[in-house]
Amino acid sequence: MAKIFQVTARAGMTRVVEPVARRLLRAGVTPNTVTVTGTLGVLVGALGFGARGHLVAGALIVTVFALTDLLDGTMARMSGGSTRFGAFLDSSMDRVADSAVFGAVAYYLATEGDQAGAAAALLCLAAGGLVSYVKARAEGLGLTCNVGIAERTERLLIVGVGGLLAGLGLKVALPVALWLLAAVSIFTVGQRMAHVYRQAQQLPTASGGQG
C-alpha cells in the first residue's frame, strides 16, 4: 500500500513539475543550477528560520526548495539524461541539505530543553545518511537498491509536517515525527540491506575490501 501511494504521489508531482522544467530549460537554466539553488534555499529555511524557532516559515521554505530535487531530475531527463557530475552534485547537495535540516532541528530542540527530541533529530541524520549510503554502495557494486518505505522525499515530508504542526502550537508533533522518522529510516536500512543480500547470494563473490 505504501509503495502504491509513493508511485501515485510521484506521478502526480511529475505532472506538475514537467511544465516548469520545460520553461526553465527554454530559458537556459541548467539542472545543476536548480540543484544548487534548491540546496541554498533549504539552508536558508533550516538555518535562517527553523534553527531560530520560526518553524512554520522554516518548514514551508524547506519544503518548497526540497521539491527542486524532483525538478532538477526531470530537467536532466528532458535534456538527454543526467551527466556523471550532475548525479554526483545532486547526491552531494542532498547530503548538505539533510545535514542542515536535521542539524537545525536538533539545535532548536536542544535550546528548548528537549534533549530527547534533539537526540531523535541526530538519530534521523545518521540513519538518513545510512539509507543513502547503502543504496550508493550497492549501486557501486553493480546491484540495485530502489526499495524502502522512507526515501529522501518521504523523510523530509515527515519532519516538515512535524515542524509545521509544532509551529502552529502542537509542540509534541515535532519530536513525535522525529522518532517516527528514525524508526522508519532504520527499517528502510534493513529493507535495503536485505534486498542487496538476496541479490548478492545469486552472484559470484565480489573482490575488494570490506569497510
Q: Domain ranges in the chain? A: 2-200
- For residue 154, the model assigns a pLDDT of 82
- For residue 31, the model assigns a pLDDT of 93
Question: Which class is 2-200 in CATH?
Answer: mainly alpha
- For residue 5, the model assigns a pLDDT of 43
Task: Please say if 90 is a catalytic residue.
Answer: no
> Is residue 17 within 8 Å of 69, Cβ to Cβ?
no
| Rounded mean pLDDT for each run of 10 residues along the chain, 211 residues in total | 49 75 92 94 96 94 87 88 86 94 96 95 94 92 88 85 94 96 94 93 64 51
- Taking the C-alpha atoms of residue 98 and residue 83, their distance in angstroms, rounded to an integer, is 23
Q: Which residues, 6+ apart, have CB-to-CB distance to 187 below 8 Å? A: 149, 150
Q: Which of 69, 72, 90, 94 is catalytic?
A: 94
Does the pTM exceed 0.75?
yes
